[in-house]
Amino acid sequence: MTILDGKKTSEQIKQEIADEVTKIKSEGGKIPHLAAVLVGKDGASQTYVNSKVKDCEQVGFGSTLVQLDENTGEQELLDSVQEINDNPDIDGIIVQLPLPDQISVQKVTEIIRPEKDVDGFHPVNVGRMVKGLPAYIAATPFGIMQLLERYQVETSGKNCVIIGRSDIVGTPMSILMARKANPGNCTVTLCHSRTKDIKAHTLEADIVIAALGRPGFLTGEMVKDGVVVIDVGITRVPDSTRKRGYALKGDVDFDSVSPKCSHITPVPGGVGPMTRAALLWNTLQAAKNSFYHSVATTE
Ligand code: GUN
């Protein structure tokens, strides 16, 4: 059984990015700059955004953190994003989700200029991805594709079952795993809350991607021998034995599933760090202004 080590792989990717930044600097080029917008005080969101800013420092990017009060109105946020859109120093923009109820996620997503949409959430980027055109691909799906590619996991002709149909992970993963590319070329089944018998599907799967946000959902008796398992879950579960008061739990019951696997991602140290590295990679592309020339991996 091979552990798909997202921590180690993400460090490699970050080193590649840092080397490229050094080269850009020596040539007097544009240093990549990410702007992160955080509305409110959600603990997990604050942690994620702080990590993203720290990652930027690690690879030599510039970063701007815009922190807005949780009572911020929709127009105020839209104006703030527009200002960043118009700032030529800033290459990439993310607005951390979830947003407070008074703000439309759709409006915010759509106001970000597609060339600066390093989250890959804008309909232009989603549409380009679906058509197999170069696009920013959302960081978690992109990070998973990188992990599969770098570990040379065979995907062609395999049955891939994805559990969870979110905009950010499950739905884009279903497109990427089915497309004519490597990794890709899978026969994809997208399971969700209305799927009648998820176990019947996962038992037929060569690759399972668990992205539903239910700790320990996928258990050993739901998978066959030799399966590749990707665990996207990172739910905070209360844990009084830890100083911070919680533990991160994946959607996969690692103890019962891992003995049956050919490959598996751990939590923590699997998909999470790959997501962070993928965001940096997208931001580097934005700074290089190569939106129309890169990203899609094709055979
Ligand atoms: N919230 C959870 N994941 C993400 C992400 O990838 N990007 C943003 N902007 N917010 C998120």
Cis peptide upstream of residue 98 (ω within 30 degrees of 0): yes
153 lines ligand 1 (CB under 6 A): no
Cα separations in angstroms, 213 against 16, 60, 237: 31, 33, 11
C-alpha 211 – ligand 1 centre gap (Å):
14
Question: What token pair was written down for 109?
Answer: 């997503």
pLDDT tops 90 at residue 297: no
Smallest CA separation from ligand 1 atom 8, residue: 96
Mean pLDDT over 57-73 rounds to: 98
Q: CB within 8 A of 252, min separation 6: which ones?
A: 210, 216, 217, 218, 229, 231, 233, 264, 267
* Interatomic CA distance for residues 182 and 185, integer angstroms: 7
Task: Answer for the pair 20, 284: CB distance below 8 angstroms, yes or no.
Answer: yes
pLDDT tens-digit readout, 149-179: 999 999 999 999 999 999 999 999 999 999 9
Q: Does an H or E element contain 95, and which?
A: strand 92-95
Q: Which of 14, 52, 116, 158 is catalytic?
A: 52
Task: Return the pLDDT at 290.
Answer: 60
pLDDT tops 50 at residue 299: no
Is 119 catalytic? The answer is yes
Buried b (16+ CB within 10 A) or exposed e, 256-286: ebbebbebbbbbebbbbbbbbbbbbbbbbbb
97 lines ligand 1 (CB under 6 A): yes
pLDDT tops 90 at residue 294: no
pLDDT tops 90 at residue 295: no
pLDDT tops 70 at residue 126: yes
Tell me the domains of the chain and their CATH numbers: 29-113 (3.40.50.10860), 139-271 (3.40.50.720)
How high is the mean pLDDT of the chain? 96
C-alpha 86 – ligand 1 centre gap (Å):
22
What is the tally of helices (H) and strands (E) in the chain? 10, 11
Q: Which residues pair with 50 in a beta bridge?
A: none
- Ligand 1, pocket-test mutation among 112, 168, 271, 274, most atoms within 8 A of CB: 168
pLDDT tens-digit readout, 227-261: 999 999 999 999 999 999 999 999 999 999 999 99
pLDDT tens-digit readout, 187-227: 999 999 999 999 999 999 999 999 999 999 999 999 999 99
pLDDT tops 50 at residue 117: yes
* Interatomic CA distance for residues 195 and 46, integer angstroms: 34
